[in-house]
């Protein structure tokens, strides 16, 4: 009897220890869906397909998609606790690091895609180069990724933002403002970039001219990485399944992305040429082996934001990048 009782107590202790160990390891899963914030961007095509084809469920996690007007709004929603994960640009993560909760800071934990032409500077037909922008009205969003691209292009041409007349507006309005003839140039991303070009304007500079400058990442909180790491891995797995499905079923994948982006399948085909959807191996390399390059990009972003007084203190790359998903 005593021996049986001792065995029962021992078994109970082992179960308690195992459960506690799982909780402390940050590897637990939850039945709660992950609320994923996104904006309309071709780089999230794999996410859109995964959602439509229920590939997140197949990967073992439920995902609730929450749309926002910009990557900035997505991270603000993360910081305020409205969502669990945000699809955003690295520059947005850098800019909003200062707004995070000190008790639960934000972390960039996965590279989702790299812009390779899907962000660009479009101009009226009479303008032929970056140098021709001198004194011209340029629609851009001050402090956002399109401003970052413009500043980079101007610097390469030996110019600064003071050489152009910045017309500040929401990113989804820059292209349409150029189309209406109210400005001479605009800096936009897809699908607004293609819309402006289709209306007779021309592209003079894009992210293809600045490789690895515009990187899109998934951002979450430190507590989320600690408490639901296994679910985040399943989220990433679902996205990879979405990318694979898109590549293997291009016509259907294109239609799915077109439906979300509110454009045609032909437009999506063109847009996708300007972005690299990063699969797990690529993201792992960028977040681990080649992480120094990501940190260099963050430092460039720091320089930009401090120059334009968007930030007063630099974001520490080591406190923003978290590669623990790949452990």
Bridging pattern class, strands 106-115 and 215-221:
antiparallel
Strand residues in the chain grouped as ranges (E): 34-38, 63-67, 85-89, 106-115, 119-123, 137-140, 165-168, 185-189, 202-206, 215-221, 275-277
**CATH 3.40.190.10 matches 119-209:** yes
Q: Is pLDDT above 50 for 140?
A: yes
Q: Would you state the pLDDT for residue 28? A: 65
Q: Is pLDDT above 70 for 2?
A: no
**Omega of the bond leading into 272 within 30 degrees of 0 (cis):** no
Q: Would you state the pLDDT for residue 186? A: 97
Q: Is pLDDT above 70 for 313?
A: yes
The fraction of the chain above a pLDDT of 70, given in percent, is 91
Cα separation, 63 vs 48, in Å, equals: 11
Neighbours of 251 (CB within 10 A): 9
Tens digits of residue pLDDT in 25-82? 445 666 899 999 999 999 999 999 999 999 999 999 999 999 998 899 999 999 999 9
Tens digits of residue pLDDT in 256-285? 999 999 999 999 999 899 999 999 999 999
Number of residues that this document lists for the chain: 327
Q: Where in the chain is the domain with CATH 3.40.190.10?
A: 29-114+213-326, 119-209
Cα separation, 304 vs 307, in Å, equals: 5
Q: Would you state the pLDDT for residue 34? A: 98
Least confident among 17-31, 156-170, 199-213, 282-296: 17-31
The backbone region for 117, taken as left when phi is positive above 0, alpha when psi lies in -120 to 50, beta otherwise, is left
Average pLDDT estimate for 109-126: 95
Q: Is pLDDT above 80 for 117?
A: yes
Bridging pattern class, strands 185-189 and 137-140:
parallel
Residue whose C-alpha is closest to residue 116's, from 271, 261, 253, 266: 271
Tens digits of residue pLDDT in 192-240? 899 999 999 999 999 999 988 999 999 999 999 999 999 999 999 999 9
Average pLDDT estimate for 11-25: 39
Q: Is pLDDT above 60 for 147?
A: yes
Q: Would you state the pLDDT for residue 212? A: 85
Q: Is pLDDT above 50 for 4?
A: no
Strand partners, 37: 66, 86
Residue whose C-alpha is closest to residue 276's, from 232, 212, 187, 190: 212
231's tokens: 């679910």
Average pLDDT estimate for 124-135: 96
Q: Among positive and negative, which fits the CA dihedral 164, 170, 171, 175?
A: negative
User: CB–CB of 95/311 below 8 Å?
Assistant: yes
Cα separation, 151 vs 134, in Å, equals: 13
* Mean of pLDDT over the chain: 90
CA distance from start to end of the chain: 45
| CATH domain 29-114+213-326 topology | D-Maltodextrin-Binding Protein; domain 2 (3.40.190)
User: CB–CB of 63/37 below 8 Å?
Assistant: no
């Amino acid at each position: 009897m005593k021996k049986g009782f001792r065995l029962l107590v021992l078994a109970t202790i082992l179960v308690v220890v195992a459960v506690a160990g799982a909780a402390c390891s940050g590897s637990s899963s939850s039945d709660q869906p992950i609320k994923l914030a996104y904006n309309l961007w071709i780089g999230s095509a794999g996410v859109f397909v995964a959602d439509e084809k229920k590939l997140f469920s197949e990967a073992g996690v439920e995902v609730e998609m929450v749309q926002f007007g910009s990557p900035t709004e997505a991270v603000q929603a993360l910081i305020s606790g409205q969502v669990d994960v945000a699809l955003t640009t690295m520059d947005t993560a850098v800019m909003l690091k200062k707004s995070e909760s000190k008790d639960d800071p934000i972390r960039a934990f996965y590279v989702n895609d790299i812009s390779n032409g899907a962000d660009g500077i479009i101009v009226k037909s009479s303008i032929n180069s970056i140098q021709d922008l001198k004194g011209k009205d340029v629609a851009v969003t001050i402090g956002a990724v399109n401003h970052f691209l413009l500043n980079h292009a101007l610097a390469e041409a030996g110019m600064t933002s003071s050489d152009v007349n910045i017309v500040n507006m929401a990113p989804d309005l820059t292209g349409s403002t150029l189309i209406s003839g109210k400005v001479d140039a605009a800096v936009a991303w897809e699908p607004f970039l293609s819309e402006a070009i289709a209306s007779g304007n021309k592209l003079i500079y894009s992210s293809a001219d600045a490789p690895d400058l515009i990187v899109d990442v998934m951002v979450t909180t430190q507590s989320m990485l600690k408490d639901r790491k296994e679910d985040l891995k399943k989220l990433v797995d679902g996205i990879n399944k979405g990318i694979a499905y898109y590549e293997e079923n291009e016509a259907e994948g294109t239609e799915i992305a077109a439906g979300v982006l509110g454009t045609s399948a032909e437009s999506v085909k063109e847009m996708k040429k300007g972005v690299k959807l990063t699969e797990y191996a690529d993201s792992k390399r960028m977040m681990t082996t080649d992480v120094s390059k990501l940190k260099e990009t963050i430092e460039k972003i720091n320089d930009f934001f401090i120059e334009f007084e968007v930030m007063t203190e630099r974001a520490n790359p080591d406190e923003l990048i978290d590669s623990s998903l790949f452990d």
